[in-house]
Structure 1
């Protein structure tokens, strides 16, 4: 008998790749969303689309009835109230998987471990907020709801990705760096290039969600991220190799950047304190990550086929040129 899956979301980035992974593993898939974004599976008769708002309990119940899911992957639970409703409505499925975040961790330590590193607190005001500062607290509160539901017999689990990258990434965070590598022969990298912000290839996040649904323990959280971590400079070099481009990485410190009106934090994917997630717990379920060079090649291929350029994150090439001129005089 074929297993069935309901993906809440399912048309954009993580959700899209999750649907593809489920199809590759012989699931019957139903996606449930508002229909605000183009449905890449509109012509795929293996995927059923149910339209509705996940904050409407009756619509969510209708999606459950239509899909009769064995597993549910929840890609768009952004507030604790979303998770509260979901663990009630899907209390009898074989696996409900909530997408949390590495941002749910409330203390900086290396690495951040499930069940050891404390989570963020979440105030009632944060629970209902939509601002970026409340994102980690909201995700942490969702985790706690999952844990409580499991105590009451619900097969609910949590997956915590770090920064996700790869094909179809509408955030364009990596695209900024890919555009730099593709366009210029000198790329400014903030600091000494050794900072680390753990990243996760989107196809690996998708497979993690399925594997946790199949093999995970109710009430448990699982970190997901590349098994091989690279520094920011190494990431740029990997991108250059994948793009078959020859670039010079130029390090710029706080003083040189400030002279051009820039700061270290103006560069996307720069993080002062390393953000590293322990992924051994997920790997113990049989999950594997894609070799990072392969992941970067796929990211470059998709970037070049898209109209994305990461310009939203651009600190300004004129300012960067000023930095290069300053560094060339030293």
Structure 2
């Protein structure tokens, strides 16, 4: 039986990655600081090593203890973390969870090896702000490529916006809550913009497949094989929930009447963000049908206490926008 070490492993992508590996016969060890509840604490197939990934001695002890065949790094947010990990885990197949944000050009679609990556300055490489996230992920990709040149079996997987059950970001929860609780929901623009999303279960399977079949020094995009516009997302949520919703597009002028701007709505991006997934599919990866993925997501949302309120631009403001639109 192969052994796998998951750096992270308790929250969202890591949680599903551990499940994916267990279901495919791996002996799995989670390595993290223990700051979050471990959903596998009662599963004797998954062991846990507590440690800080920023301490090299802790990572070295983990690799000596586990002797992993495969390492999946879910919580590398700085390029130096990737460089350290590829050195310590040099005897294993190493998969770095990168991001679609690493791309530095608005190509449609974004393709591995063709679309340029974001540059990353020395200051950006150590910064912890949201603005430098894509640059840091891109530099992590370059660290993977450099490691592969040294003979390390290192690869990167680039998810777009990830959704699914247990999503602590609550970005999609906001829209699910709106659809389930309101007959009319405002969306910015014409509702037809595209921001590529991916079901978390499919990210987990991509990480395993790339770990098993991927080529060292390569990066692989992962995203739903069928894209939905924002309007399509809301209509799909309503369909799987057995309800109805009127999606009401609002332009800049109408939004301004409610004191809102398009950027205040989560999962909105004016320019299409689309990534090719052909390279990953060539390894045998398949995407879950979007209706099935959304049904599972909505079902878990209804049993949770998440409502996406931190992303809420304000229902009263939304009602003012609807009032303006009703007079046109």
TM-score when normalising by structure 2:
0.99
Determine helix, strand or coil for the equivalent of 1:237: helix
State the partner residue of 1:186. Answer: 184
1:148-203: per-residue Cα shift (whole Å, max 9, x none)? 11011000000000000001100000000000011001111111110000001000
Counterpart pick for 2:245 among 241, 247, 250? 247
> How does 1:35-54 map onto structure 2 within 5 Å?
35-54=34-53
State the partner residue of 1:81. Answer: 80
Counterpart pick for 1:279 among 277, 281, 287? 277
Task: Give 1:78 deviation, angstroms.
Answer: 0.4
Counterpart pick for 1:290 among 280, 288, 291? 288
State the partner residue of 2:217. Answer: 219
Task: Give 1:246 deviation, angstroms.
Answer: 1.0
State the partner residue of 2:206. Answer: 208
Task: Give 1:68 deviation, angstroms.
Answer: 1.3
* Alpha-carbon distance in 1 for matches of 2:81, 2:201: 25
Task: Give 1:259 deviation, angstroms.
Answer: 1.2
* Alpha-carbon distance in 2 for matches of 1:202, 1:56: 28
Counterpart pick for 1:147 among 145, 148, 156? 145
Determine helix, strand or coil for the equivalent of 2:209: helix
Task: Give 1:64 deviation, angstroms.
Answer: 1.2
Counterpart pick for 1:121 among 110, 114, 119? 119
* Alpha-carbon distance in 2 for matches of 1:273, 1:163: 15
* Alpha-carbon distance in 2 for matches of 1:278, 1:77: 23
Any stretches of 5+ residues in structure 2 without a counterpart?
none
Task: Give 1:276 deviation, angstroms.
Answer: 0.3
* Alpha-carbon distance in 2 for matches of 1:161, 1:141: 16
State the partner residue of 1:301. Answer: 299
1:86-116: per-residue Cα shift (whole Å, max 9, x none)? 00001111x1000000000000010000000
> How does 1:29-68 map onto structure 2 within 5 Å?
29-68=28-67
1:192-242: per-residue Cα shift (whole Å, max 9, x none)? 110000001000000000000000000000000000001000000000111
State the partner residue of 2:129. Answer: 131
Determine helix, strand or coil for the equivalent of 2:291: helix
Q: Paired residues, what number?
A: 328
Q: How large is the RMSD of aligned CA atoms in angstroms?
A: 0.5
* Alpha-carbon distance in 1 for matches of 2:143, 2:79: 7
* Alpha-carbon distance in 1 for matches of 2:208, 2:40: 19
State the partner residue of 2:173. Answer: 175
* Alpha-carbon distance in 2 for matches of 1:66, 1:37: 22
Counterpart pick for 1:261 among 259, 262, 283? 259
